[in-house]
Structure 1
Amino acid sequence: MYVIHSDKNKKLTLFAITWPIFIEILLHMIMGNADTLMLSQYSDNSVAAVGVSNQVLMLVIVMFGFIATGTSILVAQYLGAKDFHKANQFAVVSLLANVIIGFLLSILLFIFSESLLNLMNLPDELMNEAILYLRIVGAFSFIQALIMTIGAVIRSHGFTKDAMYVTLGMNFLNIIGNYVFIFGALGFPALGVTGVAIVTVVSRFIGMIILLFLLYKRLDGKLPLSSLKVFPKKEIKTLLKIGVPTAGEHLSYNTSQLLITYFIASIGTEALTTKVYTQNIMMLVLLFSIAIGQGTQILIGHLVGANKLEEAFHRCLRSLKFAIWVSIIIAVLFYLFSNELFAIFTDNPEVIATGSLLLFLTILLEPGRAFNLVVINSLRAAGDVKYPVYLGILSMWGVSVTVSYTLGIYLGLGLIGVWIAFILDEWLRGVLMLARWRSRKWQQMSFIKTNKKEDSA
């Protein structure tokens, strides 16, 4: 049992940190699936339009995520080193940075929504709804930037339940709002995709306000705003050391996925719809590994900050073993009930048949993803941020994109070929990441050690 302590003598174990993260991610998945399920009763085309728009929005979330990821790691390491003032200072700086980035990207999304969707090779029948959704949600995407940053700080302090409860409330508002505005319940107009977009923005805004209050409360109001009187050049530089490589990896993944979606769109709307439904179901499998990976990242950040490197080494390996077994078991269960799961969304027999086959392949895919989610997060938490980026870019484009086109389009295997490419990519990266962790090169890469060396120089 690996136990560390936060600034409030709060015991942090993998289970104590991970189960609220798991519930929070599950609620996010339910929110996304609720949108898909409700829209599927409205129109299959609307489902595909929102699905493609959300892929564009994921690129923007990557830009917010690089600050949030850097914040999470630095706050965890400084808490492990018992330097609470420095941890809070990075929290303040990261909030400012993401507010600025959020506003800029929100403006760009609103202006260039149509141009971005045209690049996706979207069928004409989906274009109007996709533009509408992207403009509304994109214009207020800065709210998500704040939510991600505040959530990263709160989780790093060990208060993972706070973020979970806020997400629960957002979920409730989202489902009720969707019911009212998609179908025109209680006398409200039936707005379809527009209704989904409005409800998404409103629920996020309310969640952001509550998280700001919780942040102030959990840190006892100890937010060193005075550190912003002078431009925090050094702090931002440190955040960027983590964030830019991390963003590079996520940006590479999401742009490669956009290109693969472009390939699938050339097959037809039915293939695109099948992909959206399948990935919505797959996310329910994936969330176990995501939660374990995020919880492990927080623990390893604390352990590395406290210079407990041997404990950090074994914590990663134990988390990985657990994540692999859980992902296999859940993937098998979902495949066994695949027809019933797809029947919730659609009655199209072709979509159900192809989607079920994709879920069978997911049994091979998910253990590979567990490697990446646990080990890459562990490497980042320890300060080894560049290696996963370099290797990730090579594998995503050299394997995932290339093999997707070769098998899926050139050889005509369609979505089956694309899923085989996903499997090869995840397993190649996963095995090489594990080898990197076992090499222990990350043990000399702590950001606290690096900053101290720079200060002494």
Structure 2
Amino acid sequence: MKSSNYRALLWLGIPIVIGQIGVIVLGFADTLMIGHHSTQELAAASFVNNMFNLAIIFSTGFSYGLTPIVGSLFGQRRHEAVGQVLKNSLAANTLLAVIVCLVMAVLYWNLEHLGQPEELLPVMRPYYLVLLSSLPFVLWFNGFKQFTDGITDTRISMWILLGGNVLNIVGNYLLIYGKAGFPELGLLGAGIATLTSRILMVVVYLILFFGTSRYEAFKKGFTQGHLNKSDFGQLNKLGWPIAGQMGMETASFSLSAIMVGWLGSTALASYQIMMAVSQVCFMMYYGMGAAVSVRISYFFGQKDLENVRRTARTGFHIILVMIVLAATPIFLLRHHIGGWFTDDAAVSLMVAQVIIPFLIYQFGDGLQINFANALRGIADVRPMMLFSFIAYFLISLPAGYFFGFVCQWGVTGIWAAFPFGLTSAGIMYYLRFRYKTKQRC
């Protein structure tokens, strides 16, 4: 029974992990290509990408509210209801896209007030606007992805993500450097390539859903169902707490990027490189965490609490193995990683200095990812906002300022705060999951 549980979770999770790695390969490619085009553009990309990561992760968190609903309905074989809730989810994501775009537009008009190096502002602004226009497509894609993941069809999102990322990388090469007759646009070219790939990924999902028989059982509920308060209420009840939890976690990194910007362009460029490395690990763990959420929601819909608990344990064991496999090469290559992204020796040295605090927080990151997804699977998401606020705003960010500026450890001190925030969040999520699953026995 134990081995079959591992196999089932790996079978479901590996395609999600591969798709997530595809997203990160894209981030790596962006950073590599931009860094070798200009260190100034690399620093500008660091700030803008961290701001948009906050918006995207927050929005993605909201769309995750669909997964436990779909997983539970799918476990009960209610396919038409799944199609209807997908329709309501896409409508809710559209409304959220309008709100998020308005917030990001306000931030755009206040870039000069955030203490960033003035020489970077002319590079930041056009890149920022292109990424802003791509945000609605991110939310629509997320809606479809959570639907297919929730019905355990995780391979389709994997292939769409990989295809979109290949297109993005090719677009980066053509538009950043001006190849094959295209103009040399630098950082702006990277933004245009990202926008194009995000549009096409949504188009592919629309063609698959409406133009093929693959999702026929769900299409009837989508076309004949209607927008209703019940589905909207359920999506909002689950979506906003998850968005708040993930948003606060990402905010701790994005607001830390602002603090790093106070240290200058070199520190900001090193932060962008380490964020690219960090996101590789995060997305790997998160892919498996998403599988944990899907499996738990399926068993929870069947009221099988023994398998709910077993799935959470199994998921954490797998993530621990992933942590070891990821951390070992990063540690061994710590003096070489910076050179992959830039020829600037000062940036490379700074990257090597922050590897140790980065490796320390991997356990806490894996712990919080696994049990945050376990709580989503049982639809117990509201307390996570409080736990996240404590972990990231009361522990991580103040610690980053203290280590970085009071202790004068610079960018290394800011990174040294993350283990405290992530580990404390993971412990609180674990204790909550254990309490809720025992309580329901």
- TM-score strictly above 0.5: yes
Matched, 1:192 2:190: no
Matched to 1:260, the amino acid is S
Shift of 1:119: 4.5
1:108–1:403: structure 2 CA closer, same or farther, 3 Å change rule?
closer
Shift of 1:124: 0.8
In structure 2, distance between residues paired with 1:147 and 1:207:
7
1:262 paired residue number: 258
The residue number in structure 1 matching 2:220 is 222
| Number of the residue aligned with 2:430 | 434
Name the aligned partner's letter for residue 223 of structure 2.
L
Give the structure 2 partner of residue 21 of structure 1.
16
Distance 2:380 2:63 in 1: 17
Runs of 4+ more than 4 Å apart: 1-5, 441-445
Q: Write the distance in 1 (CA, Å) between the matches of 2:85 and 2:76.
A: 14
Is 2:273 the partner of 1:277? Answer: yes
Aligned mate of 1:92, from 78, 87, 92:
87
User: Which of 118, 124, 127 is the matching residue for 2:112?
Assistant: 118
SS across alignment from 1:339: coil
Q: Is the 8 A contact 2:81 2:221 kept in 1?
A: no
- Report what 2:403 is aligned to: 407
2:161 alignment counterpart: 167
Aligned mate of 1:249, from 238, 245, 250? 245
Matching residue's letter, 2:162: L
Which residue number in structure 2 is paired with residue 78 of structure 1? 73
Aligned twin of 2:394: 398
Match of 1:329 among 318, 325, 329: 325
Question: Which residue of structure 2 lines up, in the alignment, with residue 68 of structure 1?
Answer: 63
Percent of paired sites with the same residue: 22
106, 118, 127: which one pairs with 2:121?
127
The 3 A distance-change label for structure 1 pair 251 and 118 is farther
State whether structure 2 residue 193 is matched by structure 1 residue 202: no
Residue 361 (structure 1) aligned with residue 357 (structure 2): yes
- The residue that corresponds to 2:171 in the other structure is 177
Is this contact kept in 1: 2:365–2:423, CA < 8 A? Answer: yes
- Is the contact between residue 70 and residue 147 of structure 2 (CA under 8 Å) also seen in structure 1? yes
1:227: how far off? 2.6
The question of whether the paired residues in 2 share the 8 Å contact of 1:58 and 1:254 is answered with yes
Q: Deviations over 1:117-176 (max 9, x none)?
A: 234322111111111111112023111110111111011111111111111111111111
- Could you say if the C-alpha distance between residues 113 and 436 of structure 1 is closer, same or farther in structure 2, counting changes exceeding 3 Å? closer
- Structure 1 runs not aligned, ≥5 long: 6-11, 446-457
Separation in 2 of the partners of 1:89 and 1:416? 49
1:440 match: secondary structure: helix
Measure how far apart 1:3 and its partner are: 10
CA distance, structure 2, for counterparts of residue 38 and residue 192 of structure 1: 9
* Structure showing greater relative contact order (alpha-carbon pairs closer than 8 Å, 6 or more residues apart): 2
Compared CA separation, residues 15 and 324, structure 1 to 2 (3 A) = same
Cα contact 1:379–1:437 (8 A) shared by 2: yes
Q: 1:263 offset after TM fit, Å?
A: 1.4
Residue 441 (structure 1) shift: 4.6
**SS of corresponding position for 1:41:** helix
Question: How far apart, in 1, do the equivalents of 2:403 and 2:96 lie?
Answer: 38
Query: What CA distance in whole angstroms lies between the structure 2 residues aligned with 1:350 and 1:399?
Result: 30
**Distance in 2 (alpha carbons) for counterparts of 1:116 and 1:159:** 42
What is the root-mean-square deviation in Å for CA atoms of aligned residues?
2.2
Deviation at 1:4, TM superposition (A): 10
SS at 2:64's partner residue?
helix
| CA gap 1:443/1:206 in 2 versus in 1, 3 angstroms | farther
Runs of 5+ in structure 2 lacking a partner?
A: none
Rounded to whole Å, the distance in 2 between the matches of 1:104 and 1:425 is: 28
Aligned equivalents of 2:110, 2:83: Cα separation in 1: 37
Provide the secondary structure at the position in 1 that maps to 2:307. helix
**What residue in structure 2 maps to residue 315 of structure 1?**
311
Deviations, residues 89-113 of structure 1 (Å, cap 9, x unaligned): 111100111123324533554x435
Partners of 2:430 and 2:163 lie apart in 1 by 38
Decide whether the 8 Å contact of 1:328 with 1:363 is kept in 2.
Answer: no
Aligned residues of 2:358 and 2:416 also touching (Cα < 8 A): no
Question: Size of the alignment, in residue pairs?
Answer: 437
TM-score, normalised via structure 2 length: 0.93
Tell me the SS of whatever aligns to 1:384: coil
The answer to whether the 8 A contact 1:106-1:140 is kept is no
Amino acid at match of 2:177: F
